[in-house]
Structure 1
Amino acid sequence: MAKTGAFQTLLTRLEVPIDQDAEYRNDTYCNRDLIPIPPARRTYKIWSFVVYWIVSGACISAYSTGSSLLAYGLNAQQAMACVVVGGILSGLLAVVCGWMGEVHHIGFTVSSRFSWGMKLFYFPVVLRSFTSIFWFGIQAYWGGQAARVALGALIPGFAHMKNTIPLSSNITTNDLIGTLIWYIAYIPLVLVPPEKMQRPFLVTGIMFGMTLVGLLIWAVKNAGGGGPLFHTPQTTPNVGWSVMFGITSILGSWGAGTLGQSDWTRYAERRYAPTISQLVAAPVMITITALIGVVVTSASSEILGVLYWSPVELLGMIQEHYHSSPRVRAGVFFGGLGCFVSQLSINVVLNSVSTGMDVAGLWPRYINIRRGAYLNAALGVAACPWEILASAGTFLTVISGFGVFLAPLTGIMLADYLIVRKRILSIPDLYLGSRDSIYWYTAGCNFRAVLAWVLGVWPIMPGFVMTICDPTTDNNWVKLFNIAFIVGLSISFFATLAIAAVWPPPYQYVGLPYLDDAVPFGSAPGSKEAERVSAVGGDTKDEKRSGDEESL
C-alpha cells in the first residue's frame, strides 16, 4: 500500500501545471495548452502574424526548395513560376485553415475531434506529429550546419576538422558537433510561451534577411548578373508535369504549417488579424526567399563552378574560395549566424509548438506543449535527417510524400468545417470523452472521415512507392504522385461532402458560429459543467443518445 501511495504521489507531481483559479482541469482531453485561448493570452496583432510569416517564409527550406527545382530539370523562370503559384496557394490555405483559431480559439489538435471523433482524432494528430518529426530533424540539421559554418569562420581549423564518421553516414564530425550546439541553443527557447514569441521572431527574421541580402549582393556583383541558369533551357523531358511537381513541392513544404494554422491564429487579439499576413505576407515572403535562392544559386555557379542549393553549404564554399581571408570569414560568420537563428525560429513556428500541442493531446494530464516539443526534438534527430538531405531529388520526393498523407487531412477538415457544419461548433463537446459529446459518433470514431481519407490517399500511394524505390521511374502513377497535394486535398474535400450528403453526421449544426467565452469547456462527464454542456443547442443527454442511434 505504501508503494502504491508513493507511486500515486509521483504521478501527481508529474502532471502538467494548472493555472491558479483555473476553470479547467487536466484530464484525458484537456490541459492549459488545449483549452480555447482565453482573452488574456490573445496577444498576436496584425504585425505579429506578418513577423510569423517572415520567419515561416524567409527560411532555408524556402530558399532550398526554389533552388533545388533547378536540380530537378526546370530552368530559373519555370522554377520561379512554381514558387509564385505555390506561395499564393499556400497563403490561401493558411487563411481558411486558420479560421477555427480566429473564431473559436482552438488549435488543430482539438479541432480534429469534430471531424474524426473523440477517440479517432488521435489518428490525424499522430500522422501530423510523425511528419513534423522529420521536418524538425531536417530543420535542426540545417541549423547544425549553420553552426558549423559560423564556428568554422571563427576557427578555420574547425571547418577542416578530420572526419571520424564513415562517409556512408552522410554526416561529418563537425556537422554533428554543430547539430549538438544547435540543440543546446534550442532547449531554452522552448521555455518562452508561444504568446510571447513575437519579438524574438522579429529579431531572427531580420538577421536571416540580412544574410539573404548579403548573399544576393555578393553573387550578382561578382557574377555580373543572374548567372547562366537564367539563359539555360530546361532539361526535364516533360515541362508540364515537372511544373506541377514543383508547385506540389511548395505546397508539401508548407502543408503541415497551413494545416495547423489554427495553432497560431488562436492567439489572435481580434478577428481577421491574421488574414492580411496570410494572404499577402505568406506568398510574398516565400516567393522573395525562393527567388533569391534561385538567383544566388545561379550566379554563384558562375563564380564557383558548382550549383549549391543550400545557403549554408554556399557560405562554407565562399570561405574556401577566398582562402579564409579575414574579411570573408567575418561575412561568413554573420551569414552563418543568420541561418542558425532562423532555424531556431522556424522549428518553433512550424514544428515545436504545433507538434508539442499534438503530443499534449495524446496524454494531456502529463504532457503540455513544452514537454511535447522536447520529445519531438529527441525524435527529430533520431530520424537521421542527413540521409534525406543527401540529394536534391530525395529531398523533393520526401517533402512531396508528406503531402500524400497531409493533403487529405486538410481536405476533410475544410469541407467538414466550412460546408458540412457551416462553421458551427459546440466547443464544450470537444472536451467530453463520452457519449454525452455530440462528436462521439460510433464508439468515439467518425468513420466518414476514415473513408474520405482513404479515398484521398489510395490514388497517390502507388506512385509514391515507385518513386521511393526508383526515383527515375516515369509512368502515370508517378505523374499522379507529382501532384499529390492537389489531388489528395481535392478528392478528400469532395468525398467528405458526398459522404455527408448520403450519411449526414449527427448534430452538424449544433453549437455556436463563434466562441462564447461564458460557455464552459474541459468538463468531465457527470459534472455540473457537463450537465450544462448537454443543453448546448437545446438538446438533452437522452435526446443526444437517441439521435446518435438514429444516425447509425
Structure 2
Amino acid sequence: MALKNRTQTYYKNWAVQVKKDLQVEKGRGDGEDIRIWSNQDLDPTPPHKRTWHWWNYLLYFVGTGFNNWQGGSAVIGVGLGWQAAIAIAYITQSISGVVQALNSKAAARYHLGFPAIARSVYGMWGSTYQVAVRSILAAVWYATKTYEGASYLNIMMRCVFGHAYTDIPNHVPESIGYTTKDFLCYFLVWMLYTPFLFRRPYQLRNFFTGACFASFPAVFGLFIYCIAKSGGKLGLAENAGSVKMDTSTTAWLVVYAMASSISNGAAYIESVPDVARWAAKPNSVIPATLFCNFIYNPLAAVLGILGTSALQSATGETIWKPWDVMTLILEENWTSGVRFGVFLLACCWFYLVFAQNISSNMIPFGADISMLWPKHLTMTRGYIIVHLLAWCICPWKIYVSAETFFNFMGAYGIFMGPAVSIMLVEYYLISRGNIFVSSIYIGNSKNPNYWYTGGWNVQAYIAYIFSVGLCFVGFVNKVGATVPAAGEKIGYLAWFLSFTSGGVVYYLVNLVYPHQNVKNVKELKWEENADTNDVEIAGIEVVRSQSETADVEREAYAKASDNKYVVASSTTD
C-alpha cells in the first residue's frame, strides 16, 4: 500500500510538472513588448536548480562521449591508415575539449543557456540567426541518433525473436533505403523518447550517470570481439585501412578528416552552455570537460580505430559502424549464448546513443526554440517539435557510406566555427567576462548594452560573413557542386579556417570600429558583473512570482464573479 501511495504521488507530481512545463510562464518586465523576450527557460537558472557538481559533469561527459567508436574508425573508411586515424583522434578531441571548456565558462558563471548568451554577443535580433542555424543542426542530429538507436534495437530484436523477426516481409520500396523491420525499430525507439520529453536537464543526472557505466562494457566489449576475431592481430604491420596515395593527397585528406571530426562535435561545442548553466559552482564544468576530451573520448576513438583495423585484417572489409560489427557476430554464430551476449552489448550501445541524443540534440533544440518564440514555446514544447521532425529528415540516407557521413559532418562546420570563436573573443577579450544579464531581456532601443544597431551586432556579422564566405566554395563542393581544385582544398580546411578567421576578424574589426557595448565594460574588472549576478536572478524570481500571483488572483476574481467557483488566492511554485 505504501508503494502504491508513493507511486500515485510521484505520477501526480509528474503530471503537475508536465502541465507547468508546457505552459509559458511570463518573463521579467512590465510591458507586453518586454515579456516576449523572456520565459522560464530563457531566464538565468535559479540557485535551487543548480544541482550539477564536478562529479556529475565528469560522469555526464564520460557517458555521452565515451562512445566515439565510429568517429575514429570512419577515418579508416575513407582511406587513411591507423596511424593517421589515431593522431587525428587525439588532436581533434583535444582541440574540441579546449574550445568546449572555454565556451562553457560564461554559462557556468552567469547560469545562462546558449540562446541568452548569444543575445549578448550577436544582439537581440542578430542572435536569432545563430540560434536557428544550431536548432536545424540539432534536429538533423536528433533524427540521425534516433536512427542509430533503431540500428541497435534491430540487433536486439534479432537476438530475442530470431527468425520470427528476421523473416518479417518487406513492404517498403527498395528506393527508400529502409525496410519494414527498420521502420518498426525506428518507431519503437521514437516512442521510447516520449517520457523524456517532459524532463528537464537538472532532473536527468542519474540517467546520464547510468550512461557512463554502460559505456565501458559497450566499447571494450566490441573491441575484445574485434581482437579475438583477428586472432590478436591488429593489422598494424599491414598498415590496415590505408590506401596508397601521394603525399599531397594524403596531407589534404588528413586535414579534411580532422576538420570533419571536429565538425562532428561542433554543434555540441556551441551547445555546451545549455548544460553548463546548471553548474553548482563556476568551476564545476571545465576540469571535467578537459579530462574527458583529453583522455576518455579519444580512447574510445582509438579503440574503434584498432577494432576496425583488426576486423579489416581478418575479413578484408572495412566495418566501421558498431551495429554492423554486431551483425557480423550474429551471422557467424547464431547460438543462444552468442545471441544473449550480443543482446547485452547492443543494450549498452543503445543506452549510450539514447543518452547522447537527449543531451546533445534534444536539449539544445528545446533551448533554441524557446528563444525563437519565447511567448509561445518552452523547452518542453521544443522537445515535442524536434521529436516530430525526426520522421521528416530521413536519417537513413545519411549513413549510406563513410564518405557520405564525412561529407555531412564536414559541410556545416564552416557555419559553426565562426559562431563559437566570435562568442569566445567577445567574452574573453572584449567584454572581459562581463555580461549585463538584465539587458538580455530588453528587446528595444532602450537596451543600453545589447541592442547594438537595430538589434544586430554588425561587427560580429562582418566577421561571420567574412569567415563563412571564405570557406563557402568548399561547402558547395561538398553538397555536390563542381569547383576548382583550390576551392575544394579550402573546403577541406572547413572548421579550422572559419573558426580562426571569424575570431581574428571580429577582434580586429572592434579595434577599428568598436560596438556600442565596449564603453560599458571599459571600466569593469574581469567578470565583475558576475559578482552581482545572483542578486539580479533573485529579482527575476520576485518579478515572476508577482506576475504569477497577479494572474492567479485575476483568475480567482473572474471565477468568483460568475458565482460558479470559490477560489482562494494562491501562488504557483
Q: Structure 1-normalised TM-score?
A: 0.87
- Report the alpha carbon displacement of residue 391 of structure 1 after superposing the two structures with TM: 1.1
Residue 190, structure 1, aligned to residue 193, structure 2 = no
The farther-off stretch of 508-517 and 112-121 is 508-517
Displaced runs of 4+ in structure 1, greater than 4 A?
12-15, 22-26, 520-523
- 1:204 aligns with 211
- 1:90 aligns with 96
Residue 481, structure 1, aligned to residue 498, structure 2 = no
Is this contact kept in 2: 1:432–1:522, CA < 8 A? no
Query: How far apart, in 1, do the equivalents of 2:433 and 2:446 lie?
Result: 21
- 2:450 aligns with 439
Is this contact kept in 2: 1:424–1:510, CA < 8 A? no
- 2:177 aligns with 170
Q: How does 1:262-411 map to 2 (within 5 A)?
A: 262-322=273-333, 324-411=334-421
Residue of structure 2 aligned with 1:115, choices 118, 121, 131: 121
Residue 139, structure 1, aligned to residue 145, structure 2 = yes
- Report the alpha carbon displacement of residue 315 of structure 1 after superposing the two structures with TM: 0.7
- 1:248 aligns with 259
- Report the alpha carbon displacement of residue 149 of structure 1 after superposing the two structures with TM: 0.8
- Report the alpha carbon displacement of residue 106 of structure 1 after superposing the two structures with TM: 0.5
Residue of structure 2 aligned with 1:102, choices 89, 92, 108: 108
- 1:547 aligns with none
- Report the alpha carbon displacement of residue 64 of structure 1 after superposing the two structures with TM: 1.0
Q: Which one-letter code corresponds to 2:66 in the other structure?
A: A
Residue 450, structure 1, aligned to residue 461, structure 2 = yes
* 3-state SS, counterpart of residue 278 of structure 2: coil
Residue 420, structure 1, aligned to residue 407, structure 2 = no
Q: Which one-letter code corresponds to 2:37 in the other structure?
A: Y
- 1:43 aligns with 51
- Report the alpha carbon displacement of residue 470 of structure 1 after superposing the two structures with TM: 6.3
- Report the alpha carbon displacement of residue 343 of structure 1 after superposing the two structures with TM: 1.6
- 2:38 aligns with 30
Judged with a 3 Å threshold, the aligned counterparts in structure 2 of structure 1 residues 15 and 389 are, in CA distance, closer, same or farther, namely closer
Query: How far apart, in 1, do the equivalents of 2:180 and 2:484 lie?
Result: 37
- Report the alpha carbon displacement of residue 325 of structure 1 after superposing the two structures with TM: 1.0
Query: How far apart, in 1, do the equivalents of 2:136 and 2:125 lie?
Result: 18
Is this contact kept in 2: 1:226–1:298, CA < 8 A? no
Unmatched tracts of structure 1, length 5 or more: 1-11, 530-552
Is this contact kept in 1: 2:102–2:286, CA < 8 A? no
* 3-state SS, counterpart of residue 367 of structure 1: coil
Judged with a 3 Å threshold, the aligned counterparts in structure 2 of structure 1 residues 470 and 173 are, in CA distance, closer, same or farther, namely farther
Query: How far apart, in 2, do the equivalents of 1:114 and 1:500 lie?
Result: 15
Query: How far apart, in 1, do the equivalents of 2:41 and 2:29 lie?
Result: 11
Q: How does 1:217-232 map to 2 (within 5 A)?
A: 217-228=224-235, 231-232=238-239
Is this contact kept in 2: 1:83–1:246, CA < 8 A? no
Q: Which one-letter code corresponds to 2:46 in the other structure?
A: P
- Report the alpha carbon displacement of residue 459 of structure 1 after superposing the two structures with TM: 1.7
Aligned residues: 510
Is this contact kept in 1: 2:418–2:498, CA < 8 A? yes
- Report the alpha carbon displacement of residue 377 of structure 1 after superposing the two structures with TM: 2.1
* 3-state SS, counterpart of residue 483 of structure 1: helix
Is this contact kept in 2: 1:43–1:195, CA < 8 A? yes
The farther-off stretch of 186-195 and 300-309 is 300-309
Q: Which one-letter code corresponds to 1:381 in the other structure?
A: W
The farther-off stretch of 24-33 and 174-183 is 24-33
Is this contact kept in 1: 2:132–2:368, CA < 8 A? yes
Percent identity reads 23
Q: Which one-letter code corresponds to 1:101 in the other structure?
A: A
Query: How far apart, in 1, do the equivalents of 2:306 and 2:179 lie?
Result: 28
- CA deviations on 1:496-534 (whole Å, 9 max, x unpaired) are 1111111111132536441521126769x9xx99xxxxx
Judged with a 3 Å threshold, the aligned counterparts in structure 2 of structure 1 residues 267 and 15 are, in CA distance, closer, same or farther, namely closer
* 3-state SS, counterpart of residue 434 of structure 1: coil
Q: Which one-letter code corresponds to 2:338 in the other structure?
A: V
* Aligned CA-pair RMSD: 2.5
- Report the alpha carbon displacement of residue 474 of structure 1 after superposing the two structures with TM: 7.8
- CA deviations on 1:379-432 (whole Å, 9 max, x unpaired) are 233111111111110110111112111111011111111111111111000011
Query: How far apart, in 1, do the equivalents of 2:39 and 2:319 lie?
Result: 46
Q: Which one-letter code corresponds to 2:282 in the other structure?
A: R
Q: Which one-letter code corresponds to 1:40 in the other structure?
A: H
- 1:535 aligns with none
- 1:4 aligns with none
- 1:3 aligns with none
- CA deviations on 1:179-226 (whole Å, 9 max, x unpaired) are 111111111123222112121112123223212111111221231224
Judged with a 3 Å threshold, the aligned counterparts in structure 2 of structure 1 residues 470 and 452 are, in CA distance, closer, same or farther, namely closer
Query: How far apart, in 1, do the equivalents of 2:353 and 2:166 lie?
Result: 20
Query: How far apart, in 2, do the equivalents of 1:218 and 1:14 lie?
Result: 45
Judged with a 3 Å threshold, the aligned counterparts in structure 2 of structure 1 residues 17 and 118 are, in CA distance, closer, same or farther, namely closer
Is this contact kept in 2: 1:460–1:484, CA < 8 A? yes
* 3-state SS, counterpart of residue 533 of structure 2: coil
Is this contact kept in 1: 2:21–2:378, CA < 8 A? no
- Report the alpha carbon displacement of residue 15 of structure 1 after superposing the two structures with TM: 6.8
- 1:542 aligns with none
The farther-off stretch of 160-169 and 288-297 is 160-169
* 3-state SS, counterpart of residue 141 of structure 2: helix
Query: How far apart, in 2, do the equivalents of 1:283 and 1:143 lie?
Result: 26
- 2:13 aligns with none
Residue of structure 2 aligned with 1:468, choices 476, 479, 483: 479
- CA deviations on 1:309-329 (whole Å, 9 max, x unpaired) are 11012112211111x210111
Is this contact kept in 2: 1:426–1:510, CA < 8 A? no
The farther-off stretch of 337-346 and 304-313 is 304-313
Q: Which one-letter code corresponds to 1:204 in the other structure?
A: A
Query: How far apart, in 2, do the equivalents of 1:136 and 1:230 lie?
Result: 39
Judged with a 3 Å threshold, the aligned counterparts in structure 2 of structure 1 residues 432 and 381 are, in CA distance, closer, same or farther, namely same
Residue of structure 2 aligned with 1:128, choices 116, 126, 134: 134
Query: How far apart, in 2, do the equivalents of 1:462 and 1:198 lie?
Result: 42
Q: Which one-letter code corresponds to 1:319 in the other structure?
A: L
- Report the alpha carbon displacement of residue 248 of structure 1 after superposing the two structures with TM: 1.0
The farther-off stretch of 209-218 and 144-153 is 209-218
Unmatched tracts of structure 2, length 5 or more: 1-18, 522-527, 548-573
Q: Which one-letter code corresponds to 2:83 in the other structure?
A: Q
Residue of structure 1 aligned with 2:161, choices 134, 155, 158: 155
Q: Which one-letter code corresponds to 1:46 in the other structure?
A: W
